[in-house]
Structure 1
Amino acid sequence: MAGKKVLIVYAHQEPKSMNGSLKTIAVEELSKQGCSVTVSDLYEMQFEPRATRKDIIGDLQNPGQFNYGTELSKAWEMGCLSEDVIVEQKKVKEADLVIFQFPLYWFSMPAIMKGWLDRVFVQGFAHDFPQCFDSGLLKNKLALLSFTTGGDKGMYSKEGDSGDIRYLLWPMQHGIMHFCGFSVLTPQICFAPESVTEEDRVQMLTSWAKRLKTIWEEKPINCTPEWYFK
């Protein structure tokens, strides 16, 4: 889809990893389609994941008792956010699709990516109650979680030790992406790439490349509890 803009938020320390390869394939395939692709390589950028007073430029609204969420929202409104946050928000604002590429850490995303979300998805920019979920401020954009796991597919089944993978995806897909208005695409999951054969790893990459060829034709998943947990 020529003219579409894609942001890949990438969190892995090693370019030669499966995550690095998945990111590279996404850049190559989407660029072939005529998409404009931007990558926020969080480790390479040495992105600051900590939400601190430094995110607000200038005076606080209430210097006597620091409330990060309230102060950040006001700073966004007044154009007083730190430059690194503003740069990332601009990338998100311009994107039609945001792909989050990461290894699963402790049933969640790496701290550096969670910190990116904490600092970038500011109230007033990404959401502003009651403008959340289907009315979230990032509506009309697509989000996709692409990640690797340490355990195999059976481990993340209803019968497996880790339980149905949909349960651990709920906070990320519904509680973050859907909350901010994104339409959420089916996650791309590479189960236990370090424990399978080279042939299987190649198949994972091939499958991702094939999917990306028709990614713009996909319908978002339903993130309501009635559908999600049935």
Structure 2
Amino acid sequence: MTIAHPPTPGTALWVYAHPRRDSFNDRLLQAGTKALSQRYEVAVSDLYAQGFDPVLSERDLGDLSERPGNIAELAGEAYSRGQLPADVREEQAKLAAAELLVLQFPLWWYGPPAILKGWFDRVLTSGFAYGDLDPELGVPRRYGDGGLAGRKALVVVTAGEDERSIGPRGISGDLDSLLFPLTHGVLWFVGIDVLATHVVHDADSLGPEGVEQQVERLVTRVGGIADEPAWPFRRLRDGDYATTRALREDLLPGRTDLGIHLTGRD
């Protein structure tokens, strides 16, 4: 497997998407990055503090802004020409260097804040994060392979609900399913291995003691993160998916839940 952007060993990028200073999320950020810096050289992308513009627009297309066509393909060509805006190039450079990516955000309307979604839209361009073919198999280098293969990601999310209401039988749905578009559809799509989600439940109602417990819990998690195994998502190149990219009928027949995309369930 060819890695388009080999990461620099011992480097990490912490992408933070929360607007308020002196918040619980800010406490987690400060403690988490400090703990991580014991083993990694840590860069931080504080999206709100940076004033990162999440809107993919004509400026992301370079000289191609007047050309008709698919905007993702045009942005990819702008990347290949070196015409992406400076803020995007800076984020791509930090991500290309990192062997560990941490994404931290509060759960808003059952997903990440818009500013983080926009970071994906603008930073994970064709040519940089995906877009080429496996030379041996002739399949797209996606879902377990791609421009950002060779990395791991940890998603740190705070939720205002308890483990029952946002659990497997909860009224809000299962958190892993809610975040599947991020963990599988974004990170795994571009080749990044995904670690088990780090979630803080009832984040809006934690007292001082609860806050300190959760800060310490994240510090402990980060301290051992280098040795954690990733989720065993199925790779596209292994042949588990038919040409339509639907899971083969002989694998877990009759099941349609998102768990079918993990190996070891057959």
Match of 1:203 in 2: 213
Q: Aligned to 1:160, what secondary structure does the other structure show?
A: coil
Q: Aligned to 2:164, what secondary structure does the other structure show?
A: helix
1:215 is aligned to 2:225 = yes
Looking at structure 1, the residues matched to 261 and 217 of structure 2 have their Cα atoms a distance apart, in angstroms, of 26
Looking at structure 2, the residues matched to 228 and 166 of structure 1 have their Cα atoms a distance apart, in angstroms, of 12
How far 1:197 moved relative to its partner?
Answer: 2.9
Q: Normalising by structure 1, report the TM-score.
A: 0.92
Task: Give the structure with higher Rg (CA).
Answer: 2
How far 1:198 moved relative to its partner?
Answer: 2.3
Q: Aligned to 1:116, what secondary structure does the other structure show?
A: helix
How far 1:207 moved relative to its partner?
Answer: 0.7
How far 1:64 moved relative to its partner?
Answer: 4.9
How far 1:59 moved relative to its partner?
Answer: 3.9
Looking at structure 1, the residues matched to 21 and 197 of structure 2 have their Cα atoms a distance apart, in angstroms, of 21
Match of 1:78 in 2: 81
Match of 1:92 in 2: 95
Letter of the structure 1 residue corresponding to residue 227 of structure 2: E
1:140 is aligned to 2:146 = no
Match of 2:121 in 1: 118
Q: Aligned to 2:147, what secondary structure does the other structure show?
A: coil
Q: Aligned to 2:231, what secondary structure does the other structure show?
A: coil
Letter of the structure 1 residue corresponding to residue 167 of structure 2: S
Q: Aligned to 1:56, what secondary structure does the other structure show?
A: helix
Residue deviations 1:15-69 (CA, integer Å, cap 9, x gap):
2112111111121111123x11111110011001000001122244xx3525311
How far 1:214 moved relative to its partner?
Answer: 0.9
Quick one: percent identity of the two aligned structures? Answer: 33
Match of 2:27 in 1: 21
How far 1:75 moved relative to its partner?
Answer: 0.7
Structure 2 alignment gaps of length 5 or more: 1-8, 133-139, 235-258
Looking at structure 1, the residues matched to 205 and 64 of structure 2 have their Cα atoms a distance apart, in angstroms, of 52
Looking at structure 2, the residues matched to 159 and 226 of structure 1 have their Cα atoms a distance apart, in angstroms, of 18
Alignment of 1:1-230 (within 5 A): 4-33=10-39, 35-60=40-65, 63-128=66-131, 130-224=140-234, 225-226=259-260, 228=262
Looking at structure 2, the residues matched to 228 and 153 of structure 1 have their Cα atoms a distance apart, in angstroms, of 22
Structure 1 alignment gaps of length 5 or more: none
Looking at structure 2, the residues matched to 163 and 9 of structure 1 have their Cα atoms a distance apart, in angstroms, of 25
Q: Following TM superposition, where does structure 1 have runs of at least 4 consecutive aligned residues deviating by more than 4 angstroms?
A: 227-230
Looking at structure 2, the residues matched to 200 and 142 of structure 1 have their Cα atoms a distance apart, in angstroms, of 28
Q: Aligned to 1:39, what secondary structure does the other structure show?
A: strand
Q: Normalising by structure 2, report the TM-score.
A: 0.80
Letter of the structure 2 residue corresponding to residue 222 of structure 1: P
Q: Aligned to 1:58, what secondary structure does the other structure show?
A: helix
How far 1:228 moved relative to its partner?
Answer: 4.5
